[in-house]
Amino acid sequence: MVEIVLDDEFCPSGQTTAQDLARMQSEKARNLSEKGKAAEALTPYVQAKASGEQSIDLMISGAHCAGCMAKIERETAALPDILLARMNLSTMRLNVQWRGEPAKAGAIVARLEDLGYGAKPFNMELEPLAQRDQATSLLKAMAVAGAATALIMTMSVGIWDGSEMSKVTRQTMHWISAAIAIPTVAYSGQPFFRSAWGALKNKMTNMDVPISLAVILAVSLSIYETIHGNPHAYFDAAVMLLFLLLIGRFLDMRLRQKTGESAQRLAAMQASTASLVKDDGSVMSVPASMIKPGDILLVAAGERIPVDGEIIKGSSDIDTSIATGETLPLASTIGDTLYSGMINLSAPLTIKASAVSSDSFLSEISRLVEAGEQKKSKFVRIADKAARLYVPIVHTLAALTFIGWMLYSGDLRTASLNAIAVLIITCPCALGLAVPAVQVVASGRLFKKGVLIKSGDALERLAKIDTIIFDKTGTLTLGSLQLSNAQNISKDALETAALLSRASRHPVARAVAAAAGSGPVADNIKEVPGQGVEAKIDGKLVKFGAASYVGAKDQADAQTESWLRIGRAKPIRFKFKDTPRMDAKDTITGLIKCGYNVELLTGDKKSMARETAELLGIDIWQAEVSPSDKLARLEELKSQGHKTLMIGDGINDAPALAAAYASASPAGAADVSRAAADIILQGNKMSGVITAVNTAKDAQKRVVENLSLAVIYNMIAVPIAVLGFVNPMIAALAMSGSSMLVTLNALRLKFH
């Protein structure tokens, strides 16, 4: 006799037939096969780290709040061999790192799906489309709920105003309301129903569970009341509740779209293809992601550097502003290191790759930015802390209310009405609006004064800062060179230099062309990478560029000067400077008077940094700092207990902007910096900084008042609902009234 030992997974009861065993084993094999295919499909998206670890970026769907993010990180990190699980709620990107085989990615996705969240390989190009589709769906649901609310409320006025109305007329109006409310709830409630069902299916709860329960019970009870000809129905309460909640969900989605733009901007700056030089000398265009260390690449003039590498052939001017923030291009030649995202300006280069695309400079900048955004998304406000307690408290209150009224009255209808009223009246709309209402009003006030607020919690953080750190080039200064010694240069010499400069896009050439005005361009101009330009003018060789190029000896400050030599004549010196913004000094003085610590961090040379700091009255400054140096200074200040406001404009400032407690950028800043910053300063003035911090302090007072009003409302409303003094309709009106109260209080900020 053969004994068959069965796994509990196949036979929980301990008994089965041979056919059942065969069927179950076949089903398990099919499931394993499907999981194997899923893991195989994910394998190409897994990246192997230099240390041998595996990493994958996943796009998560179905996450709405910090609670969802914490759950995803916690449950993913609990899987075997997982080293790191970090999610960015702004971009919906989950980065997971683990030890072992790439196939483990399938198990990670399977666990996320078990939790009720969608997961697929992250694609920066598709991610904005997915967010746009979500926002469009929410907007449609909100529009339908809003229209239904207006229609049903219009009919409800006659029912609730106490005037005489026949039973037939009242019931007819209830049926019309039902015909509007039922399809509206079925359509507009989907964002909440799907979320609630996903949580319940996995034996969990979230804030959408009591919301969905309240809406469904209100509609169900209203249908029951209408069928039995009872005088009251609560269709208006259900659709009004959905409408108000959808407004909050839509605004939250829009804020997350804005705060996730920085990663999208950085991805757009990464070269998508590279020109690979094969062993036979031929050149082939390949995706930048396929480049490996040691590969030889050809970078034409005008192209971005695809990956970090070293020049092995050629010399050229390189736009290094992505790394240093400096206005002037850097003359680079054999042996120099270039970083991804830099732009080759003047001549072809051959470079040897030193890193893969995902480990290059620009990718590192992107990770630093997302790490900073991650810190912001974990910024937990008082309202968020209260919202965490919302689900268990509301469920308990509603259940106790139902049980208590059943014991007291024995009437199922009365117990249900009071339990629904508790669910509705405790809806956290006032609590949820306490902060956003102030943000909207404060944002409008600042917009009129040339300051744009981008981040949802920026005002809270701005109100608490004590240290302000400025970048120099493009922030305190205009970021464009101007000829500073024009009075020492003859008109003929200036025009001759302009004949050469008008054909170049070099910052120095643009400054000379601007000083001389419009005019002709010399013929047969020759550009020498890293040195300057030359041409024959009136039979004489004219050179304009570096001192060594034209034969000049004086190189007091080679970074801010160029030389013109006409034939064998004595070279003429052209000096340049970056002009401070018109109100930079007054702004610095005003901030210092308000008690803020002010510092200057710049990638520029020490001489230029010192000159700017002395001119503007900044005592603490550092020059020639890298993006990581700026981060290190921010961490140092943070360890000392300071809360910093970082103000910068360059791509190299983006990590610091994302990591600082609060951040700002001028309107003319790089796209990535504007996307990473919390506020944007319009125009060429810096005075908006003072306006922003003062408004933030006023807004913080309104937030505290609104949260206090929301708490007082719940302290009064909840006992009244539990004791049965309100029905669902009155509960919905009370909930709406509390929302209006905090909104009106927020509007006071507009007139300060």
**What's the pLDDT at 372?**
46
Looking at CATH, the fold of the domain delimited by 271-361 is given as: 2.70.150
The class of domain 436-478+581-698 in CATH terms is: alpha beta
What's the pLDDT score for residue 9?
A: 36
Strand partners, 646: 469, 663
Low-confidence ranges of the chain (pLDDT < 70): 1-41, 43-44, 49-51, 64-67, 88-91, 123-132, 157-165, 204-207, 248, 251-272, 321-328, 358-391, 427-437, 455-456, 554-559, 668, 670-672, 729, 732-733, 736, 751-752
For residue 430, the SS3 value is helix
According to DSSP, the residues that pair with 296 across neighbouring strands are 352
Q: Which residue has the tokens 């000398």?
A: 281
Contact in structure between 611 and 576 (CB atoms under 8 Å) = no
pLDDT tens digits for range 115-164:
878 888 876 555 555 566 777 888 899 899 889 988 887 777 666 555 56
Q: How far apart are CA 493 and CA 471, in angstroms?
A: 35
Burial of 688 (0-12, 13-18, 19+ CB in 10 A): buried
Its pTM stands at 0.54
Radius of gyration of the chain measured on its C-alpha atoms? 33
* DSSP string for 501-554: HTT--SHHHHHHHHHH-S----SS-EEETTTEEEEEETTEEEEEE-HHHHT---
| pLDDT at residue 351, rounded to an integer | 92
Answer whether CATH 3.30.70.100 is correct for domain 45-122: yes
Taking the CB of residue 117, how many other CB atoms lie within 10 A of it? 22
Q: What is the pLDDT of residue 377?
A: 36
| Tokens, residue 635 | 């961490």
The three-point CA angle 714-719-723 to 5° equals 150
Convert 448-468 into a string of H (helix), E (strand) and C (coil).
HCCEEECCCCHHHHHCCCCEE
What is the structure's pLDDT at 327? 58
* pLDDT value, residue 33: 43
Largest CA distance in the chain: 112
Burial class (CB within 10 angstroms; exposed 0-12, middle 13-18, buried 19+) of 622: middle
Residue partners of 21: CB distance under 8 A and separation at least 6: 4, 6, 10, 11
Q: So what's the pLDDT on residue 571?
A: 92
Give the pLDDT score at 597: 93
Q: Is the dihedral of CA 135, 139, 141, 145 positive or negative?
A: positive
Q: What are the domain boundaries of the chain?
A: 45-122, 130-261+378-430, 271-361, 436-478+581-698, 480-578
72, amino acid identity: I
Catalytic residues: 471
Segment 17-39, tens digit of pLDDT: 445 544 544 454 444 344 445 55
Distance CA 717, CA 400 (A): 16
Superfamily of domain 480-578: Calcium-transporting ATPase, cytoplasmic domain N (3.40.1110.10)
267 CB neighbour count, 10 Å cutoff: 17
Residues near 640 by beta carbon (within 8 Å), at least 6 away in sequence? none
> How far apart are the C-alpha atoms of 723 and 721, rounded to whole Å?
5
